[in-house]
């Protein structure tokens, strides 16, 4: 592009076609979609606007803005960080390199929580979200469950800032209290312990040896502490099941996302801690992805 764009008059369509080919060669999945989303972002358009302006000639500043994004993608930075946002449960969330990109698997945790709220007719539930990251779980639950009041914890100041911005964007900031806490630290007391109807969490459950095998796109760009405990993957799940009985109201639920093949071990942790009615929910790949139980 560097040499070509001095000679050639690029249009939206010719640039998309050229990019699609280049991204394909570099092994990037969904090359056309990637190109369209980055170009729409560089131009300040919606993706659909590109289709009605295929012949629009692109000026130098537009090409430069696009090129800056394109180069990052060639270096395998995840598209969501480049665009600055990701979609989760039908809402848009800002993401920065300090937070995990929300994943579709995590939407099952939302569905599971809503299901339990409805089944048990729980009014204005108090919910504790542990490891909130972008805030996607806390904010979605606040928006989906009437009157839900949420405390959302994270160890990272920068993640909490991102989550706070997302809460404001979705107008639920008044029902979410963000707080910096490391739940593995025994000296860090959970605020309002004993008052929660739910603890929800998508903890860093990937064992270190599995993290090492993840694609570079994830390993080099997403925060390691949000993905792995750098041990067997169960440190946070152990801690959550330990904390649950005293943190929840009697009858309160702990609902967590878990990794591939972890269900039996995590079920055991729930069981040992005295959980009842342990349930699971599958993801679209047929994996037991979410576990819940109450005390």
Residue numbers at the binding site for ligand GLN (CB under 6 A): 100, 102, 106, 131-134, 136-137, 202-204, 226
Cβ proximity to ligand GLN, 42 vs 152, nearer residue = 152
Q: How far is the CB of 24 from ligand GLN (least distance, A)?
A: 29
Cβ proximity to ligand GLN, 160 vs 226, nearer residue = 226
Cβ proximity to ligand GLN, 109 vs 122, nearer residue = 109
How crowded is residue 124: how many other Cβ atoms within 10 Å of its Cβ?
Answer: 12
40: tokens are 């729409």
Q: How far is the CB of 205 from ligand GLN (least distance, A)?
A: 8
Backbone phi and psi for residue 121, each to the nearest 5 degrees, phi listed first: 45, 50
Contact of 11 with 56, CB cutoff 8 Å: yes
Hey, which residues does 130 pair with through a beta bridge? 153, 201
Contact of 67 with 6, CB cutoff 8 Å: no
Cβ proximity to ligand GLN, 34 vs 132, nearer residue = 132
Cβ proximity to ligand GLN, 69 vs 234, nearer residue = 234
Q: How far is the CB of 36 from ligand GLN (least distance, A)?
A: 25
Count of positions (residues) in the chain: 295
259: tokens are 């990794």
Q: How far is the CB of 164 from ligand GLN (least distance, A)?
A: 14
Report CA-CA distances (Å) from 217 to 75, 105, 125: 9, 18, 37
Q: How far is the CB of 30 from ligand GLN (least distance, A)?
A: 21
- The residue of the chain with the least Cβ separation from ligand GLN equals 133
């Amino acid at each position: 592009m560097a040499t070509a764009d001095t000679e050639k008059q690029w249009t939206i369509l010719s640039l998309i076609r050229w990019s699609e080919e280049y991204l394909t060669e570099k092994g990037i999945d969904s090359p056309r979609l990637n190109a369209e989303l980055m170009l729409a972002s560089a131009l300040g358009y919606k993706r659909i606007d590109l289709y009605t302006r295929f012949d629009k000639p692109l000026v130098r500043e537009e090409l430069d803005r696009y090129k800056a994004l394109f180069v990052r993608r060639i270096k395998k930075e995840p598209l969501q960080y480049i665009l600055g946002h990701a979609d989760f449960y039908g809402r848009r969330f800002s993401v920065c390199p300090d937070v995990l990109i929300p994943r579709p698997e995590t939407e099952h945790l939302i569905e599971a929580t809503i299901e339990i709220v409805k089944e048990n007719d729980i009014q204005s539930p108090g919910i504790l979200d542990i490891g909130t990251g972008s805030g996607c779980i806390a904010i979605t639950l606040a928006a989906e469950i009437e009157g839900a009041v949420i405390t959302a914890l994270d160890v990272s100041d920068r993640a909490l800032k991102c989550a706070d911005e997302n809460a404001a964007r979705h107008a639920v900031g008044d029902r979410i209290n963000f707080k910096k806490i490391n739940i593995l630290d025994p000296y860090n007391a959970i605020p309002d312990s004993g008052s929660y109807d739910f603890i929800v969490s998508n903890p860093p459950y990937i064992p270190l040896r599995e993290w090492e095998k993840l694609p570079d796109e994830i390993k080099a760009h997403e925060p390691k502490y949000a993905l792995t405990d750098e041990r067997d993957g169960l440190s946070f799940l152990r801690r959550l099941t330990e904390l649950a009985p005293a943190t929840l109201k009697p009858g309160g639920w702990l609902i967590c996302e878990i990794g591939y093949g972890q269900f039996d071990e995590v079920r055991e942790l729930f069981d040992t801690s005295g959980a009842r009615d342990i349930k699971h929910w599958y993801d679209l790949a047929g994996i037991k992805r979410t576990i819940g139980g109450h005390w």
